[in-house]
Amino acid sequence: MKTLVAAFAALLFFSGFSYAQYGKLSGIVADKSSGEPLANVNILIPEVGIFGTSNSAGEFTLPKVPFGLHTITFSHVGFLSEKVPLSLNSAHFVLPSVALTPTSVAIGEITVSSTMYKKVIRDVSLPVEVVTQENILKQTGTSVSDFISAESGLASVKDGIWATDISIRGLSRQNVVTLIDGSRIETASSLAAGLSLIDLNDIDKIEIIKGGVSSLYGTGATGGVVSISTRPVVYSDKISFSGSLTSGYNTVNKGSFGNLSLSLSGSSWFSRFSGSMRYAQNTNTPAGFLPNSQFKDNNISALIGFRPVIDHELKFRYQKFSGSDIGLPGGKTFPNTALAKYTDISRELFSGEYAVSNLSGSLNQTSVKYFVQKIVRNVELRPNATTTSTPSAEHFTVGGTLQSNWSLSSFNHLIAGADVWQRTYSGTRETKMVTGTSIRITGDLPVPHSSYQSAGFFAQDEHKFLDNRLSLSLGGRIDRIFVKNDAANNPAYIINNGNPVPNPPVNPMSSFPAGESDEVSWSTNLSLLYNISTESDVTLNFARSFRAPVLEERFQYINLGGDIFLGNPDLESEKGYFFDLGYRLWNQKISLRTNLFLNLFNDLVVDAPVVVDSLYRKTNIGEARMYGFDIQAEYNFYNDIVFYTTASYVRGEDISASSDLPLVPPLNGRVGIRYKHLSFGYVDVAAHLFSRQNNIAKGERETPGYATLNFYLSSVPVYLYYMNLRFFAGIENILDKEYRNHLSTNRGTVLVEPGRNLFFKINLTF
């Protein structure tokens, strides 16, 4: 971390001084059809790296814009982007009112930042999906994966109802990097719970990059990245207060939630505070109630920002997510009849970020960030009537990032930086067996006390040619991964009827000596975007990515009364080669995005049986490949009635063994119709279709095909005494279809997914 601070100070010193003249730019953005002001409009001047957002009154201010000719892009979800030319040569220029035209189809108007700097999505060559706060309000779900799994190329991975994760084109868990406001969420990969530790009401936007992007995010991003941004606050010329109250109810599990958010801002400061609570009983399915699927959790968060002088900004974030009595009716590491739950689980994050803009004529912004995150997981497991096991672990991650954004010319943009993070693990597992009057307690270490450190340097250059019709991006990264572990001799202790057993016999198969691992790896990417016309383009992406095995894969010892899973300290890092070819059409009547992809892997890490099928050890397989396609289209065929569809297919093959890879979703897609009425709101009817999955790995079960039908209804804002009120309702799985998700690990007697669910939400903003 000292290295990052020193580098930041050096960059400030050597960046030089800017002698350019600057002016203040302000204005108002409105809805062209209704004349109402538009909040959260993104205002972007890409050639100088300036970004702003409109407030609840549609007002915006860009405090320091260089004199000269610029093109300002105004973008907002559900509206056509507007590009406004500007010749700035005065200290304060008030732009005439900008009116955005509503559109019923997606035309790439969303601004994304997962590519390390803000761009409109149609200017991004990588395959990216975006889910906004509006999507979350209109639908219902338990975790992040429930909302993003409907997008093309994505599928939900489930260890029950609460513990969920996401599969990106057939890769999940440890092959996907998850970030919250730029901070990595690092926790055990044996249970799908990383995306469950985030408050849905606190989310502004979820960006999903499909494909290997290790050159930007380092180890782990061989399958893609899920980047979650929490709700921001906008500076205001005068003191401004706003807030929101959201609540809802689900019939399928008698689940309810409530969220209160309050924001206060001025011209040089802002603050936001939010709190949520949720509660749910066992989930109802067509086969009966899913036992042990209850949960309750809560979240508090705070965001504070300062702008002490122009061009300087300091932000602090705090988040505390906690859950208790969370049932785990799934999980491949648990015996089939086991009763398992999180007695308590929590994620606590603190981060600070300092950003400086306009350091010189070409250096748009430099930022340094530091974060600390702690995840605590306590599990209670009852594999049978006489045995209780209580695994407990703490995952502590600390890290920092230094990044600079450069506009070397109007057609050349460069980002460069470094990041360092370290995850430290400590945990124990105690198993109590009661046989008559005899009590035997065995303690062991499921993973040795250990640490995983990553340090990397990255750079990416984007160059435009042919009058900006062709964009070429070339990036690279080099990383050092250092892993250190203490010795773990299992069992660590045995106590019979209160008496410790001296020198308990050590099981060499489940024990690990102290050790260290040190390796250097590299990754690179090449991306092309060519605009065939103003409404269509083609994209081509190539990347070489890597993933160094995580702590659990190296040292894991899971013995919970069922199958036994062992780690392997001698694992090699995974190497992946990612290819993607895409075509996109951005039209106010028709929107189309298609992608063909191929992933080639060396040394992919899998669980391989050892002697018997109930004992597995992590091992590298020589070669593997995954290939397929994503398609999504929207057609505004009459007034504001839109037909939309998606289709996704992925095939995973272990070339070395001539077999199928595990946890690959079947061919699936959506077909739907939505209607927008300016005076009332939205109506959306959609069917989600899955084909049979019979390309399965050893130990997996074939999954029959199925289809579910869903209905969603949402109102336009209703003005009520200085407040806006909105209603949302819907029915999911209308036909109460009994089906099984191929990526679900449900166990016991009820293996199917939730049945018919009626939900209702209310959102009040002020």
What is the predicted pLDDT for the residue at 5? 47
22 with 45: CB under 8 angstroms? Answer: no
Cα distances (Å, whole numbers) of residue 64 to 32, 109, 310, 312, 469: 28, 25, 8, 11, 29
Q: Is residue 533 part of a domain?
A: yes
What is the predicted pLDDT for the residue at 688? 97
φ/ψ (deg, to 5) at 96: -55, 150
DSSP reduced 3-state for 503: coil
Q: Which of 549, 483, 525, 461 is nearest to 219 (CA)?
A: 549
Cα distances (Å, whole numbers) of residue 467 to 107, 267, 410, 531, 648: 22, 38, 11, 10, 34
Q: Is residue 284 part of a domain?
A: yes
Buried b (16+ CB within 10 A) or exposed e, 703-741: beebebbbebbbbeeeeeeeeebbebbbbbbbeeeebbb
Q: Which of 58, 45, 81, 26 is nearest to 357 (CA)?
A: 45
Q: Is residue 252 part of a domain?
A: yes
φ/ψ (deg, to 5) at 136: -70, -35
Q: Do 701 and 568 fall into the same domain?
A: yes
CATH code of residue 295: 2.40.170.20
Q: Is residue 168 part of a domain?
A: no
Task: Give the residue from 86, 102, 118 where a domain finishes.
Answer: 102
| Amino acid at the residue 381 | L
For strands 98-100 and 22-31, give the pairing. Answer: parallel
Q: Do 93 and 238 fall into the same domain?
A: no
Report the greatest alpha carbon distance in the chain: 89
Q: Do 236 and 376 fall into the same domain?
A: yes
Rounded CA separation 426/367 (Å): 32
For residue 30, give both structure tokens: 């409105």
What is the predicted pLDDT for the residue at 192? 64
Rounded CA separation 226/176 (Å): 7
Taking the chain (766 residues) in consecutive chunks of 10 residues, what is each chunk's mean pLDDT? 49 45 85 83 78 82 83 84 84 86 82 83 93 94 94 93 93 91 83 85 95 90 94 88 96 97 94 97 96 96 93 95 94 82 96 90 90 95 91 95 90 94 95 92 94 96 93 96 95 93 88 94 96 95 94 88 85 95 94 96 87 81 93 93 97 92 95 91 96 90 96 92 92 97 89 96 95
Rounded CA separation 209/187 (Å): 20
Buried b (16+ CB within 10 A) or exposed e, 129-160: bbbbbebbbbbbbbbbbbbbbbbbbbbbbbbb
What is the predicted pLDDT for the residue at 616? 86
For residue 2, give both structure tokens: 């000292």
What is the predicted pLDDT for the residue at 125? 94
CATH code of residue 48: 2.60.40.1120
Task: Give the residue from 37, 70, 102 where a domain finishes.
Answer: 102
DSSP reduced 3-state for 224: strand
What is the predicted pLDDT for the residue at 20? 60
493 with 500: CB under 8 angstroms? Answer: yes
- Per DSSP, 291 falls in state T
Q: Is residue 164 part of a domain?
A: no
Q: Is residue 668 part of a domain?
A: yes
Q: Which of 448, 445, 300, 424 is nearest to 374 (CA)?
A: 424
Q: How many domains does the chain contain in total?
A: 2
Q: Is residue 134 part of a domain?
A: no
Range of the domain at 695: 224-765
DSSP reduced 3-state for 289: strand
Positive or negative: CA dihedral 284, 290, 291, 293: negative
Rounded CA separation 150/508 (Å): 45
What is the predicted pLDDT for the residue at 191? 67
Rounded CA separation 61/714 (Å): 32
Apex 527 CA angle, 454 and 76, nearest 5: 90
Per 3-state DSSP, what percentage of the chain is helix, strand, and coil (rounded to 5)? 5, 60, 35
What is the predicted pLDDT for the residue at 754? 96
Q: Is residue 334 part of a domain?
A: yes
358 with 366: CB under 8 angstroms? Answer: no
Residue showing tokens 């040089």: 268
DSSP reduced 3-state for 148: helix
pTM, full prediction: 0.91
Q: Which of 214, 123, 213, 128 is nearest to 528 (CA)?
A: 123
For residue 643, give both structure tokens: 């037909």
Which residues does residue 428 pair with via DSSP β-bridges, in sequence order? 392
* Helix or strand holding residue 429 (H, E): strand 412-435
φ/ψ (deg, to 5) at 123: -95, 5
- Per DSSP, 111 falls in state E
Residue 631: partners with Cβ closer than 8 Å, 6 or more residues away: 152, 592, 593, 594, 595, 645, 646, 647, 648, 669
Task: Give the residue from 72, 102, 132 where a domain finishes.
Answer: 102
